[in-house]
Structures are given as C-alpha cells and as structure tokens.
Structure 1
Amino acid sequence: MGSDETSPQTAATGYTTSKAFLEALAEGGVRYVFANLGSDHPGILEAYAQARVEGREHAFPELVICPHESVAMAAALGYAQVTGVPQAVMVHVECGTQNIGGMLHNAAKGRIGVLMYAGASPFTQEGELFGSRNEFIQWIQDVHDQRGIVRGYTKYDNEIRTGANVKQLVHRALQIARSAPAGPVYLVGPREVMESEAPTRQADAAHFPPVAPAALAPDVVDRVASALAEARRPVVVTSYLGRDREAVPALVELCEAAGAGVLESVPSYVNFPADHPLHWGFQWNDQHHNPLLEEADVVLVLGSDVPWIPTKNRPNAEARVFVVDEDPLKDQMPLWHVPAELFARADLGTAVRQLHHRVAELADPAVVARRRELAAAEHERLWAERARRETPVGETITPEYLVACVRDAIDDDTLVLTEAITHYPTVSWHLHRTVPGSLLGSGAGSLGWAIGAAVGAKLAEPERTVVSLVGDGSYLFGVPSSVFWMARRYGAPSLTVVFDNKGWNAPKASTLGVHPKGTAAQRDDFGVHFTDRPDLPGIAEAAGGAWGRTVEAASELKDALAEALAAVRAGRPAVLAVRVPEM
C-alpha cells in the first residue's frame, strides 16, 4: 500500500470535494479566497489549475495570495465591512489557524462575517487513501482538537468528512456567518476527503439566506417611544448602528422627532452625521464625568458594547435606560451589565424606524422644538471648542492639526479606516465624517487590522479612495511587508497616514490610569518607546514599491498629503509618516 504504484487514485470523474467546496463558496457570494497555502491544499491548487486550463475560472472565487495569515484575515474583514458579504480565508492546518488569532478576535468582537477554512493533517499514513501522509510535517501538525483553537470565537465550526454534502456545509456556514449578529465560522477538511470524488448535484445556495431582520414587539415600541416623547433631556448612545448605512438617516429622523442628542461611544462606523445639530460628540476611555449623560433622564442605547465607563461617566441613577441591540445581553462577554429597565433584541435599522413612527405620533412638537434648540446649542459649543485645537504649535504637528489636514485633503466619499489607538478620539472629533459608510474601525481590540483591511476594502470598491489613519505601533502590527506586497500585486493602492509618536502610547496611558504617581510615571519608564525610530515608509517602499515620505514640519504637511493622494490615485500605494509629539 505504501508505494506510489499501488496507492489509491484520485476521483474517477475529476470532480473532487475541493472543486465542490470552491464552487459552493462562489455560489454563496464569496468573491475572494485570501489564502496562505500549505501541504494540506493540493486538491485546492489542482482545482484552480484545472479551472484555468478549462477556462472556468469564474466558477471559483479569485485566489489572493497573502504572505501572512493575519493580513489575509484583515483583508477579508475589510471587504466584508464594506459590502456586508463574508469572504473566505484559507490557512495551513493548525499553524496557520493560530496565526489568524488576533484578527479572529476582531471578527468575533466586531461582528464581521468571514469563513475560515484550514486543511487538516491526513488521517492515513500507509497510502490507504489518495492524499495520505507523505511529508514529515504531517505527523507534527496533527493535533488533538484543531477546531478547538478557534471555538471560543466562532459562531460555528465543522469538519468536512465527505464530498457528498460539502456544499451544504459551506452554505450553512455562510448563512450563519451572515445572520445577525454576524461573525466568523470555521471549516476543516482532511486532505484525503478534499481529494476524493464528490457528486455534482448538491445543495442550492438560494436555500440558505441569512435570517431575516427582527423587529421590536409592539408593546416594546410603545414603552420606549413613550419614554422618549415624554423625556426632558433624552440621549441616544450608539457605537455600531452605522454598520447598516440605511439605519443612519433613520436614526436622524428618530432623534429629530424626539429632540434627542446623540453620543457616539467608541464608534467603529459613521453612526450619525458629525455636522448634525443633534450630534453631541464622542466618548472613548474618557476618565471624567460626562454632563450630557449625567443630566439625561432617558437614555436609549442603540447598538453599543461599552456605552460608558461605569466608574467614570455613567448616567445618573434616576435615568430610565433602554437597551436595543441585535446582541442585547452580550453573552460572549463574561462580565457585562448596563442597569436598564428593558433589553430588546432587534435589527437596529428596523427598530429605529418603528420608534420614529411612534415617537412622531406621541411627541409634542413645541416641546421637541425646544429640546432641539438646546441640543443644537450644545453641539455648537462642543465643536467650537474642538476647532480651536486645530492649529500647529510653530512647526510642531499636533494630532488635531494632522487630522484636520487629512479632513481637508479628502472628499466625503473617501473611505477612512481608523486605528490610531490613543488618537482614536482625535480622529473622531476632527475628521467630521458625515456620510454613512465613509469610516470604519475594527470594532475590537487586536491591533494591525487597518492596513490589511484597506486592501480588502479597495478590492471591494476599486474606484474609491481609501485612507488609513494608524499609530506607529498598529502599523507595525499590521505586517506592512506583506500588506504592501499584496497591494502592488493585486492593484489595491491606498494611503496610510502614520501618527509617529515614537512608541506605543496605549500601554503607557493604561499604566498612568492605574499608577498616576508610580515609579514608572516618575521615571518615564514604561518599556514602550522606540528609542531608534524604524523607517516606516521604507518598509512599504521595499516591499511594494510604495510612495513614502516622513514629515516633521507643519509647513510641509499639506503638500505631502496632496502628493501622497496623487500617488494613490495614480495607482501606487503611499505611506506618509507624520512625526507628532512624542509620548
């Protein structure tokens, strides 16, 4: 059984499980397979090669080679965030699976659909089946529970055990990935199974749609709408309602009908137009009281994991709090609580439209007009105070000035990805995004998402200008050598603007938050400084022929931004590192 001459042969018809798997992905709406390939994928690679010879490339998703698994995941997430359609990520057995870990966290916590596929070490070793073990590494990479590596983060995982139902498994996995709350799914396929013959007639993708949006029960609509209509000072808090672009104008209508101010807490999308008079600004890790929350008598939380920090800026104890969310209990968060009188599960856009119609019927127009007048005055005060910060200090480029210059250099349609970490609030306050779908964050906490996600976003909308605003730490986390090689190979140029403050400011800020007068603070000894600054644009230039420049003087910034954007629009990736004050 061990010799090549006597080994079982491949599928008699030539239609293998691998081919059925790839067809199922395409039928389910997957346009790209972001892949880091290995010894578990011969059936996949053979299927692609045969398709090219036969002129059937359109039957499979396009294969995008990714030199690092983390970047493959980030690119898939960026594509899905722009389109709402999960893409596929293909990695090598358990080693590649572990390399996607940080971006898997982002997919799970950010509620982004993605289908991950990994092969598994062959389960025969004497040549009993075609695809049996023939490399030493296949014994070493055989682990007890490969699927268990990801199970704490996935909505669904399964093993492909036969080609007879592979399409059903793929369509079910994509159905689960797309259904709210969206998230990652994981399939594994041993090599012998992926090489085996499969039936050509299988499950139909049309029979696996995502679950239809859920609405609020009528009594819940009445209860929440009545509270908003009767409130003295209502506030809406949201973080990711803008994932559904059509929900944003609906929220505007609701807030105008109620005279309610809007506070965006840790936003990862454009949830409410920044220039609207009812927009009351942004809240991140603010370590101070928020009078807008403390004075509110009714608070409606619409899609938010962390609407406030309980020890720092929660609403007053007498406020009526309502939580409406596609995931209202956060059952994947072991410690979580918002003291609300009502929790309701619903599609956010659907719920907002229901509430708007009922509030419009119940609210007193004169009372609402007065609320809106007061809210607009608060909006003007907040934004005027922030605008005063948008000037450089001599030739020193402040973060606020940098973001203001980016804002002036781009148009409303430009897609901005934000991963500036300690400058997240600066980006939110000074970028002034107003168009739904024009801003993305990872929605989670694993760094290195933005520059890889920019590749996926550009593939999703090739005609759109894509700009990433990142910290120097998150830029390096993103594996720029892999990202910019991919950007050049697949024609996906974007502009990356790096806030270069010579280190990781977030751990320093966290330490100061706990030990403001500790030894680390007194000695400025945090272990996070880049004593020798890396050549951040140089990495992209070497790996992908990118345009690159480092700017230190405020007088040079606007011209540098214009030159970088011109390079991107001409088809060349660009990295502009901007020296801002050190930590």
Structure 2
Amino acid sequence: MAEKNSLNAVLKRDIAEPSDNTAMGWGSDVAADMLRRIGVRYVTHNPGSSFRGLHDSLVNMLGNDDPTMLLCLNENQVISVAHGYGKVTGEPMACILHANVGLLNGAMGIFNAWADRVPVYIVGAGGPADAERRVPWINWLHTSRDQASYVRGITKWDDEPRSVSALIEAMYRANIIARTAPKGPVYICLDAALQEDALSEKVDLPSATRFLPADAPVPSPESLERAADLLISAKQPVLLMGRVSRNRADWDNRIRLAELLGAGVITDLKTAAAFPTDHPLHRSIGYHFRTAIDHVKSADVIMALDWIDLGSAMKMLPAGERQIVSASVDSHVHNAINMDCYGLSPCDLPFQVEPDILVRHLLPVVEKKLAGQTRSPLGAPLKSVARPAPIPGEAKLEDIGWALQDARSRYKITLMRTPLGTSPDVCHFTDPMDYLGNDGGAGVGSGPGNTIGCALGLLGSDRVAVGVIGDSDFIQGSTALWTAAHYGIAALLIVSNNRSHLNDELIQMRVAKQRGRQPANSWIGQRIEDPDVDIRKIAEGYGAEVIGPVKTIEALGPAIEKGLALVTSGRICVVDVHVAAGSPSRLAEYKPEREKAS
C-alpha cells in the first residue's frame, strides 16, 4: 500500500500486482473503461459475485487506478460515502451494489442522495438473465426480472443493457443525466453474462467529449426585468436561500444581490451554507421554517432559491399581500411515488432555472436599474460572535457547536452535518464550504459515511472534514470507519451521545400528554441504555482513534482540539461526547426548544 502521512495527501490505495493481460477482451472490460472515460475517480463497493467480471476488469485491466476501488463493509455506506463525496465536489462517484440483495440494502442511501439532489453513479449486477446459464439456487435467488424497479422511484434514470454497444450508450447517458440539474442517482444493471462474455470483435469506444451535459438554461430578459422591478420596488424583500451551489463566485453573487436590495436572508440547516450567517442581513437559520416566520411574515416580495417545501412554508405565513418569485428546476424529477415534491406553492414569477443562474443573470439588471444606489452598504461588516459564559458540568449539544466555532480560528473546518437539535446560535458560516447540510432523507445511519465521503472529496484541499452526529446514527453507520482507516481518509466524527433516540422520546412524551396518559413512560423503547453502547470499543475495532467519553464541558474543548490535531496528521478520529442524557430531568431542559422544532 502507498504511504500517507498527512492530511489531504494522496489516498492510500491498494496496489494491484501487474497483470500479463490488460487487453480489452470482455464485456466488463468495456464497463470498467467507460467509468474511467466519464471521469469517475473512485468506486465504492461491498463484495458480491454478480459483478465478479467488473471487479476483475477494474483491478487487473485498469490496475485499480483511476478509478480506485474502495471497500466498504455495508451497502448503505457504499452509497453514503459517495453521497458525501458528491456534496463536496458536485461530481458523481461510482458505487457497485451486488445483485438485488445489495441494491435493497443500499436503498436508504440511494433515497438520501435522491432527496438531497446529489449525483451518484450506481452500477448493479444480476443474473445471468438467460436461465440456462444460472448456477442452481443462488443465481436464481439473486436474479430479478426488473431489478431497477426496487429503486426506480428514487433514481433519475435506469437501464439494463443487453449488449456491449447498448452498455456504452447507457453509461454515457447515465453520466449526462446524473450531472444535469437537478442532479441525482442513476442506476445501471449489468447482466453477469454480459460482463463475462468474451468480446467477439474489437470495440471502438466513442470519445467522451461528444457525450457531455448541455449548458444549463438561462432566464429570459423579459422575466429578469420583471423580477428586478418587483425586488427593487419591494419595501421588505426577503430571500429564502435553499439548495444552491458551493461555488465561491455564486456565494459572492448572492451576497451582492442581498446587499443591493437590502433584503433579509433566511437559510436552512437542511441544506448547505448559502449565505454568511453573521452578515447583518441574515435573519434566521434552522431546520424548521416556523423559526423564521417572524422575519418573513411582513415581506411584500419573497424570492425563493430552490427552497425545500416552499408550499408548506408559505401556508405558515399569515394572510397578506405578497409577491413570490421562485427559481428551481426541482419539478423535473417529481414523480408519483415520492412526496418530496412537497406542497404546491403559489408563485407570481416562476423561473425554471437553477437558482444561482438566476442570480448571476439578475445581478447586472438590478445594478443597472439601481444606478449605484443600494439599500445597505456593500461589504458590510459581519455581526460580532459572542459565546455566552459556559455553565460548568455536563456538556450540551450547543457546547459542541461553540467548541467547533472556537476551533475555526485555527482550522478550516467543513462541517458535514449537525443534529436536528442544533441551535442557530452556534451556526457561524462564512464560506460556502463551511457547512454541507443534512443527508436529504432525514433517516439514521448515513452520518459516518457522509462525513468520510466529504473528507475524500476534500483530498488536496486545506480543509478538515467534521461531522457532528447522534449516537444512533454512529451505531448504525459505524462500519464506514474501517474504510476511512484502511485508505487513510482523515476525518473527525463527534458523537453527540445522549444514549437515547431523543427526538422520538420527546414525540412520545407529547403524544402521551395530548392523550392524558403517562409522559414518564416516553423512554420505553427509546433509550440506548443498560447496557450503554461502548462507542470507544466500536470505533477502535474499526481502526479509528478515539477520544472520550467526554463527560464535562471543561474537557470538551481540549478533546475536540486533540481530535482535530489527529485528523490533520492523517487519522480518522471519533470524539464520544456525553451530552444531556434522556432522563426526565434532562428532558425538561430540552423540551421547549425541541417541541417548537417538531
């Protein structure tokens, strides 16, 4: 294995022994070469015999280099790692899922990437489709007539090619579709026989440069003029910034537009950093729109930039005269299976373009109409960040946020995600790469893989990948730690360990109260206690460095500092932080804030 001694150096790759035969001679060789041609750098997988042909081609024909295979110990993490990588780079990483069983096991990860609109290039396998070629029992069991039907509602496109020429076309098409906004997962199922059959003739692969995504559409001049007039004439404009790009120029454009208009800005913890949270125009950030209502209810013009669930948000506002401008291409992937189309919002001026493309074209129109006049000073100084005096004793979730904020003065941290109970007071994002949002599907178990995929995407940069996750999220996704340890992917996982499924515990407490029943029983079926799960043993078993359990606020800052130092030396590190546990006395402290957020 190649050595790796520092953060963001070259990945530690399993080195393949040279093969005497690297000529393209099998169907799977074509598939492997196609992955290289479309720019895939890494392939995550959990082993399975259905893709034994492709496995051989990647290792013995391509030498396990460009793309490099990354072994994961669970199919959900196969997808979760690729998902985290895509959130950083905007590029699809490839995943291989074994037959129907691997596909079913990875379905939650696929749903997360789908709901998060992140590109993932999934290659499956099955069969042989020809029954005469199936091995008794196992080939029959692992063959589905329409394998993609298991995930058709949560992928943008799928295909099951039956010839080499069809395979080439399918792989190019899948690449175009995955990379076209709204981005998302695609799935190609390769028949085992197609992989393993020898090529009958030389295959000439067409150039990838002729099969690229088209330029994104742009708004019409007439619509831009109307939008500019609406926003400039508004007395209290508000910008809802949702799913937007990680590009620094786009970030600067959003700031400039808000400053020109003097518009209040609302951002969303479900999505990545969209606007500096310490900017004077930033009003609110959170997982739930109801926390922002007071800052939006008086708006006379609202511009939504791919805001998640805009329809429900508008229903929460009191009745009043307001104009709504919306930029999103999300409707292109709405289907009859999933309700991630959300509520249908009224809209006075809809733009079927990507939000940053609208901002990019709207800016010069607004600047020209304002002729140098603005409603707020351009480049306004950031609001001061003051941490309240910490209360000695047991740490809380917000204390983790403050410790990370302190560490930002010494490290360029990319926060992959943070739990639902995160306070907006600890969200201080000044760069588009400071925070990457949640996992899209709002399930449990993706946090470790997402964070490690984020770290993989940051290779070669000066940033440190950090994920703050719950204990149940860690427990379900902890196998991803082995992948990080084996390949030298450096990241910091901070486990906010309350020994409970606390969100559900609070919900059960509220249900009991509503029904006049006993809220003290809300812990039953929710607590992760007796025995407590030993985070240290789990993490060390997969090869990670571990700090903790950290049980006091006094120990928290030094523990995170030590963890970051280990990560910058090239290690995967877990900090186990015991935060307010799910006991009745501690629940009382969390209840008001969490009930408002539910």
Corresponding residue for residue 394 of structure 1: 392
- Structure 1, gaps ≥5 residues long: 1-10, 127-131
Q: After TM superposition, give the deviation of residue 169 of structure 1 in Å.
A: 1.4
Q: Secondary structure at the match of 1:290?
A: helix
In the superposition, relative to structure 1, how do residues 321 and 95 fare at CA in structure 2: closer, same or farther (>3 Å)? Answer: same
1:272-351 equivalences under 5 Å are 272-285=275-288, 287=290, 290-307=293-310, 309-310=312-313, 313-314=316-317, 316-327=319-330, 331-332=334-335, 333=339, 335-351=342-358
1:184-333 equivalences under 5 Å are 184-198=185-199, 199-285=202-288, 287=290, 290-307=293-310, 309-310=312-313, 313-314=316-317, 316-327=319-330, 331-332=334-335, 333=339
In the superposition, relative to structure 1, how do residues 184 and 236 fare at CA in structure 2: closer, same or farther (>3 Å)? Answer: same
- Structure 2 residue 60 is the aligned partner of structure 1 residue 50: yes
The question of whether the paired residues in 2 share the 8 Å contact of 1:293 and 1:315 is answered with no
- Structure 2 residue 445 is the aligned partner of structure 1 residue 448: yes
Q: After TM superposition, give the deviation of residue 439 of structure 1 in Å.
A: 1.3
How many angstroms apart in 2 are the aligned matches of 1:530 and 1:367? Answer: 54
Deviations 1:268-289 (A, max 9, x none): 2110012221111213235567
In the superposition, relative to structure 1, how do residues 244 and 50 fare at CA in structure 2: closer, same or farther (>3 Å)? Answer: same
Q: After TM superposition, give the deviation of residue 525 of structure 1 in Å.
A: 1.6
Q: Secondary structure at the match of 1:161?
A: coil
Corresponding residue for residue 15 of structure 1: 25
How many angstroms apart in 1 are the aligned matches of 2:301 and 2:50? Answer: 56
Between 547-556 and 109-118, report the one with greater CA deviation: 547-556
Between 514-523 and 338-347, report the one with greater CA deviation: 514-523
Deviations 1:158-214 (A, max 9, x none): 012111332221111011000011011101111111112344202321111123122
The question of whether the paired residues in 2 share the 8 Å contact of 1:326 and 1:347 is answered with yes
How many angstroms apart in 2 are the aligned matches of 1:581 and 1:258? Answer: 43
The question of whether the paired residues in 1 share the 8 Å contact of 2:416 and 2:454 is answered with no
1:133-148 equivalences under 5 Å are 133-134=134-135, 136-148=137-149
The question of whether the paired residues in 2 share the 8 Å contact of 1:325 and 1:345 is answered with yes
How many angstroms apart in 2 are the aligned matches of 1:337 and 1:125? Answer: 47
Question: Which residue identity is paired with 2:255?
Answer: V
How many angstroms apart in 1 are the aligned matches of 2:122 and 2:45? Answer: 10
How many angstroms apart in 2 are the aligned matches of 1:288 and 1:462? Answer: 36
Q: Secondary structure at the match of 2:542?
A: helix
Question: Which residue identity is paired with 1:447?
Answer: V
In the superposition, relative to structure 1, how do residues 557 and 29 fare at CA in structure 2: closer, same or farther (>3 Å)? Answer: same
Q: Secondary structure at the match of 2:152?
A: coil
How many angstroms apart in 1 are the aligned matches of 2:261 and 2:142? Answer: 59
Deviations 1:364-400 (A, max 9, x none): 866724xx69x989x96xx87xx56x44332121222
In the superposition, relative to structure 1, how do residues 548 and 394 fare at CA in structure 2: closer, same or farther (>3 Å)? Answer: closer
Corresponding residue for residue 172 of structure 1: 173
Corresponding residue for residue 123 of structure 2: 117
Deviations 1:226-261 (A, max 9, x none): 111011111000122144443211101111111111
Question: Which residue identity is paired with 1:337?
Answer: L
How many angstroms apart in 2 are the aligned matches of 1:462 and 1:220? Answer: 41
The question of whether the paired residues in 1 share the 8 Å contact of 2:310 and 2:343 is answered with no
- Structure 2 residue 35 is the aligned partner of structure 1 residue 25: yes
The question of whether the paired residues in 1 share the 8 Å contact of 2:392 and 2:554 is answered with no
How many angstroms apart in 2 are the aligned matches of 1:110 and 1:149? Answer: 19
RMSD in angstroms over aligned alpha carbons? Answer: 2.7
Corresponding residue for residue 459 of structure 2: 462
Q: After TM superposition, give the deviation of residue 312 of structure 1 in Å.
A: 7.7
In the superposition, relative to structure 1, how do residues 150 and 520 fare at CA in structure 2: closer, same or farther (>3 Å)? Answer: farther
Question: How much identity, in percent, do the aligned residues show?
Answer: 26
The question of whether the paired residues in 2 share the 8 Å contact of 1:88 and 1:114 is answered with yes
TM-score (norm 2): 0.86
The question of whether the paired residues in 2 share the 8 Å contact of 1:156 and 1:173 is answered with yes
The question of whether the paired residues in 1 share the 8 Å contact of 2:311 and 2:342 is answered with no
Corresponding residue for residue 406 of structure 1: 404
The question of whether the paired residues in 2 share the 8 Å contact of 1:15 and 1:200 is answered with no
How many angstroms apart in 2 are the aligned matches of 1:12 and 1:124? Answer: 28
How many angstroms apart in 2 are the aligned matches of 1:168 and 1:19? Answer: 15
Corresponding residue for residue 519 of structure 2: 522
In the superposition, relative to structure 1, how do residues 363 and 13 fare at CA in structure 2: closer, same or farther (>3 Å)? Answer: closer
Aligned residues: 550
Task: Work out which structure has the larger RCO, using CA pairs closer than 8 Å and 6 or more positions apart in sequence.
Answer: 2
1:24-103 equivalences under 5 Å are 24-51=34-61, 56-58=63-65, 60-103=66-109
- Structure 2, gaps ≥5 residues long: 1-20, 583-598
Between 326-335 and 454-463, report the one with greater CA deviation: 326-335
Q: After TM superposition, give the deviation of residue 339 of structure 1 in Å.
A: 2.2
Deviations 1:544-570 (A, max 9, x none): 142332111111111111111112222
Corresponding residue for residue 476 of structure 2: 477
Corresponding residue for residue 500 of structure 2: 503
The question of whether the paired residues in 1 share the 8 Å contact of 2:289 and 2:313 is answered with no
How many angstroms apart in 2 are the aligned matches of 1:245 and 1:474? Answer: 31
Q: After TM superposition, give the deviation of residue 146 of structure 1 in Å.
A: 1.0
How many angstroms apart in 2 are the aligned matches of 1:555 and 1:530? Answer: 25
Q: Secondary structure at the match of 1:40?
A: helix
How many angstroms apart in 1 are the aligned matches of 2:105 and 2:482? Answer: 19
How many angstroms apart in 2 are the aligned matches of 1:78 and 1:439? Answer: 12
TM-score (norm 1): 0.88
